[in-house]
């Protein structure tokens, strides 16, 4: 099966503006986030189905960008669990030995009381396979998903030959992926920014 998926990172939130680790906290888009999305996408993007993380900022983005107020929720697309770092920024964590260890490990060690990057990637890819299974069951070939920055990095680094951090993307921006999916195996045929 071949499918096109438009992945859009949620619009900006107040914690994003403040440079905070924003994982499982259910923060909504801020006014600037709504305005930016409407500016980037003045016309709704039409697709056969819209998927989303369960968190409010992604569901709001699905409504603004794709006109879908009730997207199909993929729980596994939830952002990484940042544990004790959640809602804190660099200045607040500076000098914290656990934070320094995380930096020194190139983000490979587990967040204290949170997830490890490898666990997050595995979870996210389970969600991507679930999305693709739904597409296969319903003959959907052109879909979209409103997701988190971490979701982008997890998915694209898993199905390409590029590094996790090479897929950092600004709020409100996205990629269109062209994928093949057979027997649980995902092949990236092409991708481009939208």
DSSP 37-98: HHHH-SSPPP-SEEEE-SSHHHHHHHHHHH--SSPEE-GGGSPP--GGGBT--HHHHTT-HH
pLDDT at 156: 97
Q: Any idea which residue has 């959640």 for tokens?
A: 86
Print burial letters for 107-130: b (CB count within 10 Å at least 16), e (below 16): eeebbeebbbbeebbebbbebbeb
Q: Enumerate residues 6+ apart whose C-beta is below 8 A from 45.
A: 6, 65, 66, 144, 194
92 C-beta neighbours (distance < 10 Å), count = 14
Task: Return the pLDDT at 182.
Answer: 92
Per DSSP bridges, beta strands 72-73 and 2-9 are unpaired
* Distance between CA atoms of residues 11 and 140, nearest Å: 26
Tell me the pTM.
Answer: 0.96
Residues 114 and 164 sit within 8 Å (Cβ to Cβ): no
Distance CA 108, CA 100 (A): 12
What local confidence, expressed as pLDDT, does residue 122 receive? Answer: 98
Digit-coded pLDDT (tens) for 56-103: 999 999 999 999 999 999 999 999 999 999 999 999 999 999 999 999
Q: Indicate the DSSP class of residue 30.
A: P
So what's the pLDDT on residue 187? 97
Write down the pLDDT at residue 64: 98
Contact indicator for 12, 39 with CB cutoff of 8 Å: no
For position 184, what pLDDT does the model report?
87
Write down the pLDDT at residue 117: 96
Low-confidence ranges of the chain (pLDDT < 50): none
Strand-strand pairing, 2-9 and 174-182 = antiparallel
Only one residue has tokens 């906290």, namely 25
Count the neighbouring beta carbons within 10 Å of the beta carbon of residue 55: 25
Give me the pLDDT at residue 51, please: 98
- Say what the pLDDT of residue 1 is: 95
């Amino acid at each position: 099966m071949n499918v096109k998926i438009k992945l859009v990172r949620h619009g900006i939130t107040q914690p994003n503006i403040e440079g905070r680790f924003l994982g499982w906290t259910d923060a909504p888009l801020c006014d600037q986030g709504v305005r930016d999305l409407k500016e980037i996408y003045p016309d709704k993007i039409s697709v056969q189905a819209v998927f989303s993380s369960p968190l409010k900022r992604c569901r709001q983005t699905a409504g603004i960008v794709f006109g879908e107020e009730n997207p199909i929720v993929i729980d596994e697309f939830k952002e990484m669990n940042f544990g004790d770092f959640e809602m804190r920024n660099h200045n607040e964590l500076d000098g914290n030995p656990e934070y320094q260890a995380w930096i020194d490990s190139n983000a490979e060690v587990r967040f204290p009381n949170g997830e490890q990057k490898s666990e997050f990637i595995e979870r996210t890819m389970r969600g991507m396979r679930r999305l693709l299974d739904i597409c296969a069951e319903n003959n959907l070939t052109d879909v979209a998903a409103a997701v988190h920055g971490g979701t982008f990095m997890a998915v694209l680094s898993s199905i390409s030959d590029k590094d996790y951090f090479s897929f950092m993307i600004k709020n409100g921006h996205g990629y269109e992926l062209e994928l093949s999916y057979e027997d649980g195996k995902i092949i990236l045929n092409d991708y481009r920014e939208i």
